[in-house]
């Protein structure tokens, strides 16, 4: 019976060789996040229940309490845990290949292109770069972590395509690449022409919308503002064999959105909507607006319980110049130019940086007023 094998090693040629070897024998791989402390790694291994673990020296050690996988399963990858404890998402060879084919078809990738992995391969944003390169038979360079200087150097050595998150994009000159896929969080309001904003999740094996347009094979519908998707690149199940699908195969994303000019617009997570004074406020929209203020480098907003308003809008701003930060009135006046006044924050906290998850998303649970 096929088994799950944990790969406890950084991204690189050895990682790729180990994954290919595991697949050749009919087993599935589970990339272990190298940045986790030992206790967290132990807890994750216990939850995913692999049969063995291969370390950076190439040694494979059997583990107790293993749970098998099904024939055709290729990958178990942990979610980011932004809405709770991480779950193991099970993908098959068929779902991975479908995602890769749709992506490289949209991008026009060929064997003459060269992909770079610089995001964690323990998350779908990094691992999906591997499958695109394999599917298009193109060159592949893998970095163990993101380093702006190394990424820039790789572009000079022939890399043409890369997948980044917003924080990484801000640390390089994107024009050095032919194409940059951008995921992990809401894209900036203005992007270079060679940057493609993606929307997707671990359950869809990464981005399935490029600049608001669905990839080939992806079906979409909106039900009570929630985005539902269906297609061959969707996960098979969670590691505990439960599934999130409706009876007819649709995946509720938990995100609110709508179509405008035939392009998908994502409001944000349904559970993150702020209700203040009876008005519905989408944090994504407010953050995108505040981020365009000339004194603002980065921003996060969320609702905080309030006796009078139900929730009050609190904003955390990283100024471009700590010696010249915007005031609350500056932010409110700027927001009121393009959004209803009930979107205006009621509090402002100036910070040097925002707490981030490993995928480049703002860790709003760590923000306290």
Q: Is residue 241 part of a domain?
A: no
From 62, 91, 120, give the residue that closes a domain: 91
When computed from its CA atoms, the radius of gyration of the chain, rounded to whole angstroms, is 21
Q: Which two tokens stand for residue 53?
A: 């673990």
Look at the block and give the residue holding tokens 């000079």: 156
Q: What is the CATH number of the domain that holds 350?
A: 3.30.300.30
Q: How far apart are CA 42 and CA 44, in angstroms?
A: 5
Residue 343 and residue 286 in contact, taking contact as beta carbons nearer than 8 Å:
yes
Report the pLDDT value the prediction gives residue 357, as an integer from 0 to 100.
Answer: 75
Residue 239 lies in a domain: no
Q: In 10 A of CB 39, how many CB atoms? A: 8
**Residue indicated by tokens 């992909």:** 115
Residues 87 and 99 in one domain: no
Domain stops at, among 91, 119, 138 = 91
pLDDT digits (tens, 9 = 90+) for 31-83: 999 988 888 899 899 999 999 999 999 999 999 999 999 999 999 998 854 44
Same domain, 74 and 112: no
Sequential DSSP letters for 201-252: EGGGTEEEEETTEEPTT-EEEEETTEEEEE-TTS--EETTS-----TTS-EE
Report how many domains make up the chain.
Answer: 3
- Residue 327, domain member (yes or no): yes
Looking at the fold, whether 67 and 183 belong to one and the same domain comes out as no
- The answer to whether residues 82 and 134 belong to one domain is no
Residue 58: inside a domain, yes or no? yes
Asked if residue 145 lies in contact with residue 10, where contact means CB atoms within 8 angstroms, the answer is: yes
Q: Are residues 118 and 254 in the same domain?
A: yes
Does residue 52 lie in a domain region? yes
pLDDT tens, residue by residue, 309-365: 899 999 999 999 999 999 999 999 999 999 999 999 999 999 999 998 766 678 888
Do 262 and 144 share a structural domain? yes
pTM of the model: 0.86
- Residue 228 and residue 115 in one domain: yes
From residue 236, give the alpha-carbon distance in Å to each of 48, 98, 229.
15, 13, 14
- Assess whether 29 and 158 both reside in one domain: no
Angstrom distance (rounded) from CA 95 to CA 28 = 13
Which of 67, 91, 115 is the endpoint of a domain?
Answer: 91
Range of 133's domain? Answer: 94-234+249-267
CA-closest candidate to residue 103, choices 12, 206, 221: 206
**C-alpha span between 240 and 224 (Å, rounded):** 29
139 lies in the same domain as 219: yes
Residues 295 and 262 in one domain: no
Residue 78 is part of a domain; what is its CATH number? 3.40.50.980
Domain CATH for 120: 3.40.50.12780
Q: Does residue 240 lie in a domain region?
A: no
Answer yes or no: do 218 and 280 share one domain: no
In order along the chain (369 residues), what is the average pLDDT of each group of 10 residues?
97 97 98 89 93 97 97 91 70 98 97 96 95 97 96 97 90 96 81 95 97 97 97 97 96 96 92 88 92 94 90 96 96 94 95 81 85
Angle between helices 124-136 and 93-107 (to 10 degrees): 70
Could you give the 3-state DSSP secondary structure of residue 352?
A: coil
- 185 and 143 in a common domain: yes
328 within a domain of the structure (yes/no): yes
CB atoms under 10 Å from CB of 343, counted, come to: 22
Q: Is residue 244 included in any domain, yes or no?
A: no
């Amino acid at each position: 019976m096929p088994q799950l094998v944990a790969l406890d090693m950084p991204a690189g040629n050895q990682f790729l060789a180990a994954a290919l070897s595991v697949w050749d024998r009919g087993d599935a791989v589970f990339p272990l996040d190298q940045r986790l402390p030992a206790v967290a790694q132990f807890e994750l291994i216990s939850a995913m229940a692999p049969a063995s673990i291969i370390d950076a020296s190439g040694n494979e050690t059997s583990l107790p309490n293993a749970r098998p996988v099904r024939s055709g399963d290729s990958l178990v990858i942990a979610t980011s845990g932004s809405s709770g404890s991480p779950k193991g998402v099970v993908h098959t060879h068929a779902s991975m290949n479908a995602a890769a084919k749709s992506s490289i078809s949209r991008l026009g990738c060929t064997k003459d292109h060269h992909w770079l992995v610089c995001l964690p391969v323990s998350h779908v944003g990094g691992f999906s770069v591997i499958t695109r390169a394999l599917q298009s038979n193109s060159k592949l360079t893998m970095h163990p972590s993101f380093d702006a200087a190394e990424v820039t150097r790789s572009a000079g050595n022939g890399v043409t395509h890369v997948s980044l998150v917003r924080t990484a994009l801000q640390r390089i000159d994107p024009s050095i690449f032919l194409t940059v896929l951008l995921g992990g969080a809401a894209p900036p309001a203005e992007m270079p022409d060679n940057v493609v904003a993606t929307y997707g999740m671990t359950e869809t094996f990464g981005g399935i919308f490029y600049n608001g347009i669905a990839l080939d094979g992806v079906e979409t519908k909106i039900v009570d503002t929630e985005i539902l998707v269906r297609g061959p690149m969707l996960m098979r199940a969670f590691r505990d064999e439960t599934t999130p699908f409706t009876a007819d195969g649709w995946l509720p994303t938990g995100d609110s959105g709508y179509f405008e000019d035939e392009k998908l617009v994502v409001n944000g997570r349904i559970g993150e909507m702020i209700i203040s004074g009876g008005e519905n406020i989408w944090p994504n929209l407010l953050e995108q607006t505040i981020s365009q203020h000339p004194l603002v480098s980065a921003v996060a907003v969320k609702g905080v319980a309030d006796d009078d308003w139900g929730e009050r809008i609190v904003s955390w701003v990283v100024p471009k110049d700590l010696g010249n930060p915007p005031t609350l009135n500056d932010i409110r006046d700027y927001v009121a130019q393009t959004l209803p006044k009930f979107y205006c924050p009621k509090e402002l906290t100036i910070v040097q940086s925002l707490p981030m998850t490993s995928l480049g998303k703002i860790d709003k649970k760590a923000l306290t007023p």
